[in-house]
Amino acid sequence: MLHLQGVKKQFQVTGKNIPILDIPEWSVGQGEKIAIIGPSGSGKSTLLHLIGGILRPDAGEIVIGEERLSGMKESRRDAFRAEHIGYILQDFHLIPSLTAKQNVEIALNGGSGTAERRDKIDHWFESVGLKDRRNHKPSQLSRGQQQRVAMIRALIHEPALVLADEPTGSLDWETADEIAGLLLELCGSDRHTLLVVTHDLKLAERFPKCVRIGEINEANRRAAELGRMAI
Ligand SMILES: Nc1ncnc2c1ncn2[C@@H]1O[C@H](COP(=O)(O)OP(=O)(O)OP(=O)(O)O)[C@@H](O)[C@H]1O
C-alpha cells in the first residue's frame, strides 16, 4: 500500500545541511496499523510529512497504492491528499469560529449538503460519543472532545491511509487511552492503513506493530555513531 525507496531528506541548520532521513527501503501493507517511535528529533514527523505529501523528499520515491507521490505536481498532490489521506495532529487545528459540525463539513468541501451527507456526519458524531456536541465551538469542548472532532474531520472521507502525529500528545493519560482505543477502532478495518507517530510507549504497545525509526532510517544510525542521537 505504501512503499518508500531511497528516500532522503535534509534540512539546513545554521548554514549546514543535516541529513534527517535516509530510508533505503520501507514497505507498509494494506490495512497495517503501525506505531512509529524514536527519540525527539529523529525525523518521525518529517517522515509523516513526506508520506502525506506536505514535504517533498530530496531524493527517492514514495508510492501510495499505485500512485507515485514524487511525480505529482503540487496541486495534484493536494487533491490526492484530500481524497486518500487522513491527517490527525497533536493540536487538533480546529477553526475556532466554526462549530464542531462545520469543522467537519469543511473536510467534505463545505456546506451542509444532502440529507445523506447530514446523516453521515450525524452518524460519525454519534460513533465518537459527541452527538449532543455537534453545534458547540471548539472552545466549548474539552481537549479530548476536540481531538474526537479532529478525528472525524480526518476520517469522514474514508481515507485509505491515516497519518497521526502524536494524536494523544496533549491529553491526560486517561483521555489519551480513550482516544487511542477510538482511533484503533475507527481505523480497524483492512481498508484503512494507519501510521501513528508517538512518544507514548503505552499507546505504541496497543498497536499490532511498532517500529523504531532507527530500524528504517540510516541517518539515525549514522547520527548514533557520531554520538548525536540514541536510536
Ligand atoms: N523546516 C525545518 N528546517 C530545519 N530543520 C528542521 C525542519 N523541520 C524539522 N527540522 C529538524 O529535523 C529534525 C527532525 O525533526 P522531526 O520533527 O521530524 O523530529 P521528531 O522525531 O518528530 O521529533 P519530536 O519527537 O521531538 O517531535 C529535527 O532536528 C528538527 O529540528
- Model confidence, pTM: 0.91
Whose CA is closest to 8, among 64, 47, 63? 47
Ligand 1 center to residue 120 CA distance, Å?
Answer: 37
Taking residue 20's Cβ as centre, other Cβ atoms within 10 Å add up to 21
Beta bridge partners of 89: 165
Phi, psi of 154 (to 5 degrees): -75, -25
Each as own residue / partner, the long-range contacts of residues 8-17 (CB below 8 Å, 24 or more positions apart, any chain) are 8/57, 8/58, 8/59, 8/60, 9/43, 9/46, 9/50, 9/55, 9/57, 9/58, 10/58
Q: What is the ipTM of this complex?
A: 0.97
How far is it, in rounded angstroms, from Cα 73 to Cα 7?
Answer: 18
Express each pLDDT in 7-61 by its tens digit.
999 999 888 898 999 999 999 999 999 999 999 889 999 999 999 999 999 999 9
Q: Which residue has the least CA distance to atom 3 on ligand 1?
A: 11
Q: Which string of b and e fits 135-166 if b means at least 16 CB within 10 Å?
A: ebebeebebbbbbbbbbbbbbbeebbbbbbbb
Contact 99, 135 (CB under 8 A): yes
Ligand 1 center to residue 41 CA distance, Å?
Answer: 5
Atom of ligand 1 nearest to the CA of 46: 18
Express each pLDDT in 93-139 by its tens digit.
899 999 999 999 988 865 556 888 888 899 999 989 999 999 999 99
Ligand 1 center to residue 173 CA distance, Å?
Answer: 25
Ligand 1 center to residue 127 CA distance, Å?
Answer: 35
Mutate to test the pocket of ligand 1, among 10, 21, 22, 45 (most ligand atoms within 8 A of CB): 45
Pocket residues: Cβ below 6 A from ligand 1: 11, 13, 20, 38, 40-46, 199
